[in-house]
Structure formats: structure tokens, C-alpha cells
Structure 1
């Protein structure tokens, strides 16, 4: 009894699996299926039609394929896996895909042609698929251009990158030229959607779309505001265009110098020398929380007044007094001090050459010592010279 039950299970399971994989229960037969049994073709071009050979619950067997009604001068081949085939074999509830490759002659006249694809087996299985191919006149090229984010915001130091979708809505492959026209001194470049190489055109197949990237770099000194860029695509007389916008916000720009532009001064050993620094904001937005700092030789002192500046408006300047005190044991000569201004998101620096000299009093003392030494020497010469 158990053996009989096991045999029944083995027989039922394949049938249940076959219904689950393919066609609905109760549907049996041989079918030839295509998405578009009637379509338009063009003279001088090649058209490929995909056809599925469907075996719904039948015993598999080789099926001979043939085409009827091919017009004179036309060429039609049945391909499977990229090679010409004459027969197919589909398993139970399985599909086999073939392609009908039709070459339409250049002198083909407008009108409809009816072709029939036949599949026939040796034990009576057969199916037919009527196909209507209409030779139409060539439609003019048509392009489309879209962007999900046509407006971006950033600073003068930002690189504005737009993702654009270019569509070829015509019936033939096109090479599409790309161009962008922006304000003066704005730099624009195109790259492929997933590439880094700059391009000026891109090939797009008929009925397909491609993503490209437009990168726009504004000049560093651009003022805050909205700046439009006209993007245009063209191919064989067809054009499409759209505008993208750069919303440029202000950007501060610090510069550190002196009143006369000279970055040098003098100082005495052990004494504080004060210099006046000029801090400019040459940008288009305020610079907030500016703090002064400096680097001087070992054992020197540096102090700033003021040490911090709350804000510097665009095209404004602030004076900063810096006091530098050389070390007591410093040697006369030239030294370099570095002064820095650090604001929120901005900074500036300048190197200042300081020539260190000794005190005038020490110079007088030195001269006196030398004079006394000379008098002692002359007295000794005069005294011992008489002997």
C-alpha cells in the first residue's frame, strides 16, 4: 500500500509543478507570441521581431519553423541565440525565444506587407503567427531634455552638478550634440552619467534615453544671486533645451596686510614694537568670529589688539594692532613672524619680516668702553715708550 501511495505522489508532483511554472490549468496547446504583431518599418533599415514559442502542456518535439509571404527583394531570417535556426524544441510549459530579422530594401514602397510565421511538429502540433509590417515614411528627429533638480544652491567655491536625461524620441539612432550657455566666466562641462570623461556629444539609440551630468563652476568673485544656464541638445535639425539655475549665496574672503602694503618692520631687543595690520573682507558675505593669532621665534612675545573681531562686513576692513617683543637674549638680525586671522569658514595669513637691532644706550656704552680702552692703551705706550 505504501509503495502505491509513493508512486501516486511521484506522478502528481510533476504535474502540479508544471501548472505552477507556466500556463493556467486546463490551457494546452502550441502558441506563437509576440508583443507587437503589427509594426512600422522603414525602407533601407533592419527590424528585429522577438517571438516566443510556448508549449502549454504538450509532449515536447522538434518544431520546424518557416516564414510565408516575404515580399520580393526583402530578406527575412529566423535567428536563435544569434544564429540562423530552422527548428526549435520547447519543454512542457516552457518558452523558447527566437528573432525574426527583416531587412527592408531601400526602394521599398510605402504600404503594408503580411508575413506568417509557422511552427509545425511531426505528430500534428502546429501554430501560426500573422505579422503585419507597414513601410512608413521617415519621421523627423525628436529630442527631449529633463532634469529632476534644475535649481541648485551653493557658494562661489561650489561646483554645481546637474543630472540631465536626454531622450531620443525619433525612430532612428542619433548622435546628440551638447552645449551650455551661462554668464561670463562661468565654466561648463558635460560627462556621462557614470563616467568622468568630458564629452561634447553622445550617441542615443532610437526610443532610448541617457543620463548625462552638467558641471557648472562659477568664478570665485561672483556676487550672491541667481544665475541661469541654458542647456541645449541638438541632432539632425531637432533641438531641445532647458534652463538650470545656480543659486549662489555669499562667501566671505579674508585678506591680511598692512596700511602701506610692506610686510616688514624693526624692533629692539627686549622692547615691544607695535605694527598696524589691516584685515579686509573682499568677499560677498560677512565673516563672523575672527580670531587673531601669531607665530614668533622662541621666547618672543606677541599680542593683538583686538584679539577677536565679532564680524567683518563685505568690502569692509578692520585695523588690528600687534605688539611684538623680541627675547632679551636675541641676536641682532632678521626674523620672520607669521600672523593669522581665522574666521568661521575663512582664514588669511601673512609673513612679517622683523629686523632686530640693539638698544642705543648699549651702543653708547659700547663706544665708551672702546674709548676708555684706547686711552689706557695710549697711556701705556707713552709711559713705557720713554724708557
Structure 2
């Protein structure tokens, strides 16, 4: 009898307690769902990714929950925020939804591949979750790295080869890098950051900087492919990158005379032929070299050939230039500038011509002087005795 009465009292107590406590507390998460439009993201080591997640309360009462991340790889960090504020718990009104942001930091040494995990919301009894994943597109490592999108450039010998390289600090500490190059054969290499010449740069963890590398070849370099190794080094490590410069050759031309004497004499009203020598002093062929002359007023110049179709490196060609002085040219020095011009190079030669009085007028002057002397002699002889 006593046993039956005890069981009855216990049943009544359970009913009373159940009536007092909110029954939906134990089954609250049955009305909660998590939704994200983008559950799979691609990222690189060291990158931060974000998921926008809606917490939906389909019930009629307020639901309070906490969050956790299950299956997240070791060493990966995450944070959860709502309206810009980091949160640990969230309460959602009945028949409403609240957006949250899940930020996950992929570590610098993350393994390449697909990583799956899930965001879990729970009130301590019944959980809700949404599956998420990150595809790491490259193998991570804790190191420094020099990279470039264009390691090979082509140009002629008097070009400046300009490369853009990126220095990445994929370590967990700030680093100071010394920049250098071990290029040979007389090349000049310099580094520029923000248009300033530098020999070192400092980087915070998981940051990068673009650096311009300028490589200037030595004079008279031969056409070939040259390797330009560069290094960014710290006290503990270094990163190297090999650049390439394809030198197609140099372009240069000279113009002078056979004797290399750039002066002569000429009589007014006469002409003189000058033998000009055009030489290709570069390492690449020159084509369509045009010969021109800039003369004093009323002077004339004529070339036996005004164009050289092609001139190989080290070769020369003799061109005859006939220079004519006007009849009324006054005695003195006159300058004529000869030019040899191609698309790739040009050169000038300044030639000085000294105009002399005509020989005929010299004889005439001598005869006049002689006549004057004879006349004076006769006058003195005739009248000197008186």
C-alpha cells in the first residue's frame, strides 16, 4: 500500500515540475537551423576565409545557443561574429533569423587538399550544424619566397631589363631581408621599392611586397641568354630566384673619313669629293642607313649612295660625298655636318671646310701689285732727277 502511494506521489511531482519548467528547453534546438549559401571555399596558406551563416529560429520562443567547430584541422583558428562583434553565445527571437560571420584562418603550413568540418550550434542538449569545407590549393610551409610572373625578358644590349618580383614572408615572425644578386660578366643590378633604390626590406608575418629588379648589361656585350640570380636573405634563411635576360645585340654606328681627318680646303665656286666611312660598331646588323648632310647656306652636297641597305656588325662602307662651294663664298671656315641614320642608331661627323680665294684672282692681284710697283718706279725715275 505504501509502495503504491509513493509511486503516485512521485508521478504527481514529475507532472508538477514539468508544468513549472518550460518544456521547450530540452527540445529547443529542434527549431533551429543553420544555413550558408557558400559552404565550400578555395584558399591559400596564410589566407583568412569568411562564411556568412544564417541562424534561423522556426520556433515561437527565444532560443539561446553556443557555437563550436568540429573537425577543424589542428592549428587552424576560427572566430564567430555578429554585426562586427565577436560572440560566444547568441539568442535568436522566435520566428526570426540572425546572420553571423565565421572567419577561419588557414595556417601558413597548411597541407594542400580538401579540408571538411562543420559549425555546430547547441543549447547543451540538442545540436544543429552546417557542413563547411576549404580547399587549400597549394602546399603551405613556414618560409620566405621570391616569385615572379615574368622571369624571362628580351632586349638589345643597351636596354635596361626590368622585372617585377614579389617577396612573401610566409613565416610567423617579422623579417628583415637583405637583397643581393650574384650576376657575373659586369652586369649592374639594383632593387627598387616604391621607386626608391633599396638594399633591404622589412616585412610583417604573412605579408608581401613587390620589388622592381633592374638589370643593366655591360657595354659591348655579346648576343646571348644571361642568367641573373637574386637573393632575399635573413639571418636564418634565404630565398633565391633566377631571372633571365635574352640580349639580342647592340646597335651603334660611326661616320668619319678614311684618314679620320675632318677638315679640308676648297676654292669658292669649286667642289671637292670627300670619302666618308660608315662603320657598324654594334653587335647586330643595321638596315636602311640613310646618309644626309647639313650644309651652310647656298652650299650643295651630293652622295654617290644616299642609303646603305644593310651593314653587318664590324663592317664598314665608303661613301663619296661631293661638296660644292658657291662662287661668292667669302674666305673663311664653313661647317658641314654629315649624318648616318638608321632606325636603331645614328651618328654625326662635323667637317670643316676652309674657303680660299681663287688662284686666278691671286694671279690678278699679283699682276696689279707688280703693275703698281713698275708704275711707281717709272714715275720716280722720270721725275726723281728734278
Same fold (TM over 0.5): yes
What does residue range 195-274 of structure 1 map to in structure 2 within 5 Å?
195-274=194-273
Gaps of 5+ in 1: 1-18, 42-46, 60-91, 99-139
User: Per-residue CA shift, 1:243-283, capped at 9, x if unaligned?
Assistant: 11000112321011122222111111111111111111110
The question of 1:294 aligning with 2:293 is answered: yes
SS in 1 for 2:329: coil
Following TM superposition, the consecutive aligned residue runs of length 4 or more in structure 1 with deviations greater than 4 angstroms are 19-22, 27-41, 47-51, 94-98
**Who is 1:190 aligned against?**
191
Counterpart of 1:93 (choices 98, 103, 108) is: 98
**Who is 1:309 aligned against?**
308
How far apart are residue 288 of structure 1 and its match? 0.5
Gaps of 5+ in 2: 1-35, 38-51, 104-140
Q: Is the 8 A contact 2:54 2:100 kept in 1?
A: no
TM-score by length of 2: 0.67
* Residues 271 and 378 (structure 1), Cα distance of their counterparts in 2 relative to 1, 3 Å cut: same
What does residue range 159-174 of structure 1 map to in structure 2 within 5 Å?
159-174=160-175
Q: Is the 8 A contact 1:292 1:342 kept in 2?
A: yes
Higher mean C-alpha deviation, range 22-31 or range 228-237: 22-31
SS in 2 for 1:256: strand
Rounded Cα–Cα distance in structure 2 between residues aligned with 1:338 and 1:266 = 16
How far apart are residue 176 of structure 1 and its match? 1.3
Rg comparison, structure with higher value: 2
What does residue range 1-387 of structure 1 map to in structure 2 within 5 Å?
23=54, 25-26=56-57, 29=64, 52-53=86-87, 57-58=92-93, 93=98, 142-192=143-193, 195-387=194-386
User: Per-residue CA shift, 1:222-251, capped at 9, x if unaligned?
Assistant: 111101011111112211212110001123
* Residues 50 and 219 (structure 1), Cα distance of their counterparts in 2 relative to 1, 3 Å cut: farther
How far apart are residue 48 of structure 1 and its match? 11
Q: Is the 8 A contact 2:57 2:93 kept in 1?
A: no
**Who is 1:105 aligned against?**
none
SS in 1 for 2:379: helix
How far apart are residue 50 of structure 1 and its match? 7.7
Rounded Cα–Cα distance in structure 2 between residues aligned with 1:235 and 1:178 = 9
Rounded Cα–Cα distance in structure 1 between residues aligned with 2:213 and 2:235 = 22
User: Per-residue CA shift, 1:324-377, capped at 9, x if unaligned?
Assistant: 111111111111111101112211101111111122222111101111122223
Q: Is the 8 A contact 1:56 1:94 kept in 2?
A: no
Aligned residues: 290
How far apart are residue 37 of structure 1 and its match? 8.5
How far apart are residue 162 of structure 1 and its match? 1.2
Rounded Cα–Cα distance in structure 1 between residues aligned with 2:247 and 2:172 = 41
* Residues 369 and 29 (structure 1), Cα distance of their counterparts in 2 relative to 1, 3 Å cut: farther
Q: Is the 8 A contact 2:79 2:102 kept in 1?
A: no
How far apart are residue 39 of structure 1 and its match? 7.0
How far apart are residue 385 of structure 1 and its match? 3.8
Q: Is the 8 A contact 2:280 2:286 kept in 1?
A: yes
How far apart are residue 26 of structure 1 and its match? 3.2
Q: Is the 8 A contact 2:253 2:345 kept in 1?
A: yes
Q: Is the 8 A contact 1:30 1:58 kept in 2?
A: no
How far apart are residue 169 of structure 1 and its match? 2.3
